[in-house]
A and B are shown apart, each in its own frame.
Chain A
Amino acid sequence: QSVLTQPPSVSAAPGQKVTISCSGSSSSIGNNYVSWYQQFPGTAPKLLIYENDKRPSGIPDRFSGSKSGTSATLGITGLQTGDEADYYCATWDRKVFGTGTKVSVL
């Protein structure tokens, strides 16, 4: 089963920007849409980004997604304490999730 690799954790001060990478392969990210999910402890995941860079209704534009080659990136600008959560990427090929990244606000 293919694996999407994310950094275990990223952190920044309030108001700053963080980026989370999601590294795959030509058969995973390279040929499929990427989506991103936010998960707070003890709660269900929530869709943040779909089709690489689209935001569902209600998701603030502080969250952005991009894809290039076999990697994808989630960006969070204007970091807030309420953004502290786990974030997962996923591709639609065999519906694989990334390893997850914990975002901390310093």
Chain B
Amino acid sequence: EVQLVESGGGLVQPGGSLRLSCAASGFTFGHYWMSWVRQAPGKGLEWVANISPDGNDKYYVDSVKGRLTISRDNAKNSLYLQMSSLRAEDTAVYYCAREVAWSFESWGQGTLVTVSS
């Protein structure tokens, strides 16, 4: 069974940093593209970033370029999102998701990031 478990969320001040993690199990992690998708409170879904199976290709939504960095460690079956220069508008639940057949096929339970002073 595919399992994705996010961690690392919390309260951070504007301009601060945070590192999210996603632990994967139940599948060969290094064979799949992975994404981060976020959802602000009461709002819709927004794709944030994704990364190729070997970690060499990374793509971001324009609003986070230069501030959020996606990475992975296939030996540890883990996906990461390094967040810096955080803004109030980054407040959201962050989900990691496995990409299959041009869709987000499996999702974690999410971790809440709150940017506030």
Output the nearest chain A residue to B100 by Cβ-Cβ distance.
Answer: A50
A: interface residue count bin = 20 to 34
Would you list which residues of chain B between 89 and 107 have a CB under 8 Å from chain A?
95, 100-107
Q: Is A56 an interface residue (CB 8 A)?
A: yes
| Known contacts A1-B61, A32-B102, A33-B103; is-contact A96 B95 (Cβ 8 Å) | no
Q: Is B45 an interface residue (CB 8 A)?
A: yes
Tell me the bound Cα distance from A54 to B35 in angstroms. Answer: 21
Contact indicator A95/B50 (Cβ below 8 Å): yes
Partner of A50, one of B35, B95, B101, B108: B101
B residues less than 8 Å from A51 (CB atoms): 101-103
Chain A residues lying within 8 Å of B50, measured Cβ to Cβ, are 95
- In A1-50, the 8 Å CB interface with B consists of 1, 32-33, 35, 37, 39, 43-47, 50
A-B contact pairs, 21 of them (CB 8 A): A1-B61, A32-B102, A33-B103, A35-B103, A35-B104, A39-B45, A44-B95, A44-B107, A44-B110, A45-B37, A45-B45, A50-B100, A50-B102, A50-B103, A50-B105, A51-B102, A88-B45, A90-B103, A90-B104, A94-B47, A94-B61
